Chain A
């Protein structure tokens, strides 16, 4: 951002300011409709809230380093863990993935922008709005929502001060706004993928990331309305005094659990599917081999979508559901292991016999895969009813969940950020800082989340502000891991900021990768290929085959080199 020299000439005459062009940082604070600007807005906002959510987590781990409730009051602890979960899911992981979607989907399929740019910008700007609403709930009398990110009634309906505006009401409002924003985003992503692909890019030639994004956004479209409906009823129960869930008026508190998990289990696949996409993009690039079994990997995503919608009751095995329901939902849950296994084996086969290049992005992808496999095998344990009955609502689940969301998903997001950083900022990142970030993250993740498994097996319930002394040992280790994770963010942010400001200029294709986005200058101009969209003539990941991806590939690459 310091000089105009070396900036692609198309960027300078682009109708919109674009990332990397000089002196136009103000566009990130405007209602900009360029998907690449919106993508970076999403990611920056999400990283800010990662810091907020992480800070809350570290206070919680500070409380849990000793058995007694001594650092903060119990009410404060309950608010902290509720807000930690809510922030991390609705203000970090969903927005950061939508950021990746915005950056990658149009570039990967050769579209100039998203199908509905204004809707796209509106969907983004709702994020800071509900972020502020959620943060404001710390300031209202009675404090923030403190019934967990599940917000199960009747405990979530207890309103000690009786105010109409209370933490729980603001929480429901924020979650509803988040849902509307996500649905707007999902309509946009699905339409873009279905309608705006480059000539020659059939569905069967689409990069896996787009397949997984399509699958994940389909889940959003089917699942989110159910949660929104459930949340509306919760709000009515809380604010108006209706009896959807209140037992005293004939309501059914377990009904809410069905609505909640009908969306919130598939939501985990909304999170992990794009990360599967990232793995599928990165392993071929850094192993210099084609993705093993592309059609199977793509198809497995669709199978996961179908199955993800019929597993939700596995969160409710101890909720008083009949035995036949437990058996049926256990079987469907187990089945998900099959398409997931197909993907894992495909990645292993891709790596096997490759020529691996272990830069930061690849290390994060490998670390993410390691953690994901661990989360996968504990997931199978959780699927089986008798074991689940024992560890349900204990730290075992918390450990499993964080291995998925932090160990696999967030590390996959880091991998994606490093991999595509040169493409969208036009600058290379610093490998040394990146590897330090990886090392601290990998150690911190395992140190923080592994001890939760023995704790859960021993019977320590989740969401407790104090615990029996026999749990102290593993909790101390987990807390140390959490603080290490806090430290791990420092080299990451340092790397992002310093690389963007003064990192070496990036060529169009620094990793020698195959894909439409690498046939664009770094950073790409506002309308990507504009009217010169190349015609795709082969499938993705043709590493080592010598197969060109598009017509006139040599000319395009020569032009990029000259520029």
Chain B
């Protein structure tokens, strides 16, 4: 999936550069709405398969352990807060504050991914273990890809913050990235409810 918005100004004459930059946020929001439909499709598929299943969990699997994932969920969801703090710092012109909170959010995202990897390794079923296994790995894996993309996008924005005076007039890219991060968090909350809480 191409998820990075065209943040660079297109190679057109000077007069249109500013105008184009203004559109990136519009375009990105439209893209996010569209992207949410993929998740919606996966969620619906999951619900339909689960509701119509004769035997849902693979034999030998009791259910998912939810306490550790809940911990990682808290980490991921609070990273939405640190992203918001980073944005506030940026709007006040405190570049170092922005960088600190931004880096913290990236770290929290990475911790979440690490937790996910640990969980995958500990599970007794695989992606081919019936519809349940297929859905579990598809949903968490697809979401994990989004977390990874979010971290990479944040790294890009962090690197840009070192360009002199780059963020003097606000930065569409930072707003878009933080929107994307909130989106990824909201999706995870729904996923957590579907996969772990609904049994």
**Which A residues have a C-beta under 8 Å from some C-beta of B?**
15, 33, 112-113, 115-119, 122, 180, 183-184, 186-188, 190-192, 194-196, 221-226, 228-230, 232-233, 236-237, 240-244, 249-252, 255, 258-259, 262, 527, 531
Contacts and interface: CB of A to CB of B under 8 A. Distances in A.
Contacts of B33: 221
A255 B22 contact: no
B131 to A, nearest CB: 4
A183 B35 CA distance: 9
Contacts of A194: 26
A250 B49 contact: yes
B45 A244 contact: yes
A187 B45 contact: no
6 contacts: A122-B2, A191-B27, A224-B34, A230-B41, A244-B45, A250-B54
A226 B41 CA distance: 5
Nearest to B41: A229
B128 interface: yes
B38 A228 contact: yes
B86 to A, nearest CB: 26
A191 B41 contact: no
Given A242-B134, A244-B131, 19 more contacts: A33-B12, A115-B26, A116-B20, A190-B30, A191-B23, A191-B30, A194-B26, A223-B37, A225-B37, A226-B37, A228-B38, A233-B45, A233-B134, A237-B134, A243-B131, A249-B128, A250-B56, A251-B134, A262-B41
A225 B35 contact: yes
A191 B22 CA distance: 10
Contacts of A117: 10-12
A223 B5 CA distance: 21
Contacts of A112: 12, 16
B159 interface: no
Contacts of A195: 22-23, 26
A107 to B, nearest CB: 16
B31 interface: yes
Contacts of B152: none
Interface of B: 1-2, 5-6, 8, 10-13, 15-16, 19-20, 22-24, 26-27, 30-31, 33-42, 45, 48-49, 52-56, 127-128, 130-135, 137-138, 142
Given A115-B20, A531-B15, A251 B30 contact: no
A255 B48 contact: yes
Contacts of A229: 37-39, 41-42, 45
A225 B41 contact: yes
B135 to A, nearest CB: 7
A324 B38 CA distance: 27
Nearest to B10: A117
Contacts of A115: 20, 23, 26-27
Contact of A225 (B34, B49, B56): B34
A250 B130 contact: yes
A80 B37 CA distance: 32
Contacts of B42: 229, 233
B69 to A, nearest CB: 22
Contact of A252 (B11, B41, B48): B48
Contact of B128 (A113, A226, A241): A241
A157 to B, nearest CB: 13
Contacts of A241: 128
Given A115-B27, A187-B31, A250-B55, A236 B134 contact: yes
B38 A191 contact: no
A270 to B, nearest CB: 14
A27 to B, nearest CB: 14
Contacts of A243: 128, 130-131, 133-134
Q: Which of B12, B48, B134, B137 has the most CB of A within 10 A?
A: B134
Contacts of B20: 115-116
Nearest to B35: A225
A3 B15 CA distance: 32
Contacts of B52: 252
Nearest to B23: A115
A244 B27 contact: no
Contact of A249 (B10, B130, B142): B130
A195 B28 CA distance: 13
Given A188-B27, A226-B41, A236 B138 contact: yes
A451 to B, nearest CB: 38
Contacts of A119: 6, 27
B60 to A, nearest CB: 15
A244 B37 contact: no
Given A183-B34, A194-B26, A229-B42, A240 B128 contact: yes
Contact of B38 (A113, A116, A122, A226): A226
B1 to A, nearest CB: 7
Contacts of A116: 5-6, 10, 20, 23-24, 27
B127 A187 contact: no
B134 A244 contact: yes
B13 A222 contact: no
A184 to B, nearest CB: 7
Given A118-B10, A183-B31, A251 B49 contact: yes
A184 B10 contact: no
A189 to B, nearest CB: 10
Given A113-B12, A252-B52, A222 B41 contact: no
Nearest to A126: B2
Contacts of B2: 122, 180, 184
A241 B137 CA distance: 13
Contact of B127 (A33, A190, A224, A240): A240
Contacts of A251: 49, 131, 134
A194 B5 CA distance: 17
- Closest CB pairs A-B (n = 9): A229-B41, A242-B134, A225-B37, A225-B38, A250-B131, A221-B34, A115-B23, A117-B10, A191-B27
Nearest to B46: A244
A196 B23 contact: yes
Given A180-B2, A250-B53, A222 B37 contact: yes
A368 to B, nearest CB: 30
Contacts of B1: 180
A240 B137 CA distance: 12
A191 B26 contact: yes
A230 B42 CA distance: 8
Q: Which of A116, A122, A242 has the most CB of B within 10 A?
A: A242
B6 A244 contact: no
A531 B36 CA distance: 37
